[in-house]
């Protein structure tokens, strides 16, 4: 059944994430975006005065209570009649699989840079994931209200280190720390000045300035010269280059003072892509107005301590979703009821009645759902699997308290299903001592924390010295098992056979000695 409304609804949606290094201002920017779009007041979620304790503070509060930042939800707000779904990337310093997977659910990313620090390690890694997945990137250079690097130097760094062409949309008048206004290149170089709101913390008020009156201002003259320079090297926004990931529109501002945030919001609506038909395993993308389909990109247990629930976050890929509709769980072919669907608004949940491509649905008590699963109605569909990343950290996990072995096992299964860590087993080690594998070591902390707090079954980790994993097959496994220093495991999640090596050099020598053996760096290739 084709529904023309679906295409229109998809067109007025933008689903995006913010990628940044910790402390660059992601929470502040998230709050500023929501505040600017008026989402916080609309949803009645303002706490305290002036909206400073808004949605994102709730996230942080929740993270504080849990001890570790493990939440990931989607924030939804409306701006200029467009529905913006901001999918939160986990905020911890470590790099984990969670972060990667969240990026499979978005159509665009905002790369947030601290004006003083420029490109930082976490930003670079996240950028690589976006590039690998072909996700277009908008850049926001934050904290222009305090001293930082030179604007042109920041653009050079982006161009050189990321090999992406920066095309500024706004340009700062004044050095970082002396921000006097922004020039908006998309609006015929309109000049916007800001005055601080009383109290300073939120919403600076913007006003359009007369360029003629600015002509004596040396910061303005410098900015105009810099723009001339940029124009002469062709740093103009080109939609195709942006969508192909070859160029990134750049915005300047200060999230904490709400400067440049409106420009960024407009940019997301005007430049960023709306949801597009998602490619399927068979190659042909599923049209937006086909029957409903969605992919689980995140499963989170026990978000609400009082209810012991389990929420599966589903990104709608096609069709219209109506709460209560019967959908099919593609992995098992079983029907799945969606009576308990909710839109997540920070910690607040509201019941969601309908959703369209690009929207994120939280399905409560979705015990049967795993990360990567597809839900659909009508003609069955299979989307390519979510990428599984090569772990670089390995440790044997044992229960601390032998009288809690049952709870311990249940916990490990749960963490495995949620994709918190990869769980590896082998005949040699036996099922009692699974090996946990992670992309970032923080995944181990999360696993231990949750085993102890949610399952009351603390575990002990004994690190293994492996550093590299490769996928092999049934023919290669026995050969590799005989190679000194190498171990072969089955990944419980999907039955993949993984060989692990103590060093990249050992891997190199083993693959030299056994040229016929499969050693695939892409762990998710069957």
Stretch that binds ligand GDP, among 16-24, 209-217, 292-300, 366-374 (CB under 6 A): 16-24
Residue 373, helix vs strand vs coil: coil
**By CB under 6 A, residue 71 contacts ligand GDP:** no
As measured in angstroms, the least distance from the Cβ of 90 to ligand GDP is 11
Question: DSSP assignment of 98-114, as one string?
Answer: HHHHHGGG-SEEEEEEE
Residue 91 assigned ligand-binding role: yes
Residue 5 assigned ligand-binding role: no
Phi (first) and psi of residue 499, to 5 degrees: -100, 135
CB proximity list for 464: less than 8 A, separation 6 or greater: 394, 395, 396, 435, 500
CB closer to ligand GDP, 174 vs 372: 174
Question: DSSP assignment of 446-460, as one string?
Answer: HHHHHHHHHSS--EE
Q: Which member of 85, 149, 202, 254 binds ligand GDP (CB under 6 A)? A: 254
Q: Which member of 6, 15, 16, 28 binds ligand GDP (CB under 6 A)? A: 28
**By CB under 6 A, residue 146 contacts ligand GDP:** yes
Stretch that binds ligand GDP, among 24-32, 102-110, 237-245, 264-272 (CB under 6 A): 24-32
Q: Which member of 6, 17, 27, 202 binds ligand GDP (CB under 6 A)? A: 27
Stretch that binds ligand GDP, among 103-111, 138-146, 280-288, 292-300 (CB under 6 A): 138-146
**By CB under 6 A, residue 23 contacts ligand GDP:** yes
CB atoms < 10 A from the CB of 189, how many?
A: 13
Q: Which member of 101, 143, 185, 310 binds ligand GDP (CB under 6 A)? A: 143
317, 308 in Cβ contact below 8 A? no
Task: Tell me which residues in 76-105 interact with ligand GDP (CB under 6 A).
Answer: 91
Q: What length does the chain have? A: 526
Q: Which member of 88, 107, 145, 289 binds ligand GDP (CB under 6 A)? A: 145
Stretch that binds ligand GDP, among 22-30, 165-173, 309-317, 482-490 (CB under 6 A): 22-30
As measured in angstroms, the least distance from the Cβ of 42 to ligand GDP is 22
**By CB under 6 A, residue 22 contacts ligand GDP:** yes
**By CB under 6 A, residue 36 contacts ligand GDP:** no
Q: Which helix (H) or strand (E) holds 61?
A: helix 55-66
526, 493 in Cβ contact below 8 A? no
Residue 346 assigned ligand-binding role: no
User: Which of 262, 255, 168 lies closest to 206 in space, CA to CA?
Assistant: 262
CB atoms < 10 A from the CB of 102, how many?
A: 23
- In this structure, is the dihedral angle defined by the CA atoms of residues 85, 91, 96 and 98, taken in order, positive or negative? negative
CB atoms < 10 A from the CB of 494, how many?
A: 14
Stretch that binds ligand GDP, among 26-34, 209-217, 389-397, 469-477 (CB under 6 A): 26-34
As measured in angstroms, the least distance from the Cβ of 98 to ligand GDP is 16
CB proximity list for 116: less than 8 A, separation 6 or greater: 143, 146, 147, 148, 149, 176
Angle of helix 442-454 versus helix 405-418 axis, rounded to 10: 130
348, 305 in Cβ contact below 8 A? no
CB closer to ligand GDP, 262 vs 393: 262
Angle of helix 121-133 versus helix 151-162 axis, rounded to 10: 50
CB closer to ligand GDP, 22 vs 118: 22
Question: Which residue ranges make up the site for ligand GDP (CB under 6 A)?
Answer: 20, 22-28, 91, 142-143, 145-146, 254-256
């Amino acid at each position: 059944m084709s529904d023309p409304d679906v295409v229109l609804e998809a067109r007025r949606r933008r689903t995006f994430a913010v990628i940044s290094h910790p402390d660059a201002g992601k929470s502040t920017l998230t709050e500023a975006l929501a505040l600017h779009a008026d989402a916080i007041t609309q949803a009645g979620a303002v706490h305290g005065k002036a909206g400073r304790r808004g949605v994102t503070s709730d996230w942080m509060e929740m993270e504080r209570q849990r001890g570790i930042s493990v939440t990931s939800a989607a924030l939804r707000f409306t701006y200029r009649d467009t529905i913006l779904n901001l999918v939160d990337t986990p905020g911890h310093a470590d790099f984990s699989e969670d972060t990667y997977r969240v990026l499979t659910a978005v159509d665009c990313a905002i790369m947030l840079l601290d004006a003083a620090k420029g490109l930082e390690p976490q930003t670079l890694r996240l950028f690589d994931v976006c590039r690998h997945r072909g996700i277009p990137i908008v850049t926001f250079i934050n904290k222009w209200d305090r001293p930082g690097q030179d604007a042109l130097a920041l653009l050079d760094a982006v161009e050189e280190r990321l090999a992406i062409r920066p095309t500024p949309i706004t340009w700062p008048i004044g050095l970082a720390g002396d921000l006097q206004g922004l020039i908006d290149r998309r609006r015929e170089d309109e000049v916007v000045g800001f005055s601080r709101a009383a109290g300073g913390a939120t919403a600076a008020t913007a006003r359009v300035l007369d360029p003629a009156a600015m002509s004596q201002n040396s910061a303005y003259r410098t900015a105009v010269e810099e723009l001339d320079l940029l124009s002469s090297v062709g740093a103009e926004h080109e939609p195709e280059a942006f969508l192909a990931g070859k160029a990134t529109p750049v915005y300047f501002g200060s999230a904490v003072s709400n400067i440049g945030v409106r420009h960024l919001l407009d940019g997301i609506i005007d430049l960023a892509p709306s949801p597009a038909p998602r490619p399927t395993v068979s190659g042909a993308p599923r049209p937006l107005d086909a029957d409903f389909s969605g992919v689980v990109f995140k499963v989170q247990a026990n978000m609400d301590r009082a209810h012991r629930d389990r929420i599966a976050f589903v990104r709608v890929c096609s069709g219209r979703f109506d709460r209560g509709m019967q959908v099919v769980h593609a992995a098992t072919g079983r029907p799945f009821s969606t009576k308990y669907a909710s839109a997540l608004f920070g910690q607040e949940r509201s019941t969601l009645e309908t959703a369209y491509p690009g929207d994120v649905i939280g399905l409560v008590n979705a015990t049967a759902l795993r990360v990567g699963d597809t839900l659909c109605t009508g003609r069955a569909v299979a989307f390519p699997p979510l990428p599984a990343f090569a772990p670089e950290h390995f440790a044997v996990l044992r229960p601390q308290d032998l009288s809690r072995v049952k709870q311990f096992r249940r916990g490990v299964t749960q963490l495995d299903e949620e994709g918190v860590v990869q769980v590896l087993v082998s005949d040699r080690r036996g099922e009692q001592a699974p090996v946990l594998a992670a992309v970032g070591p923080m995944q181990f902390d999360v696993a231990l924390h949750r085993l102890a707090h949610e399952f009351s079954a603390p575990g002990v980790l004994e690190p293994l010295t492996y550093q590299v994993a490769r996928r092999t097959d049934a023919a290669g496994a026995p050969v590799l098992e005989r190679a000194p220093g190498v171990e072969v495991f089955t990944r419980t999640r999907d039955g993949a056979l993984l060989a692990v090596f103590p060093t990249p050099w050992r891997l190199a020598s083993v693959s030299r000695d056994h040229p016929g053996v499969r050693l695939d760096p892409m762990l998710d290739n069957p």
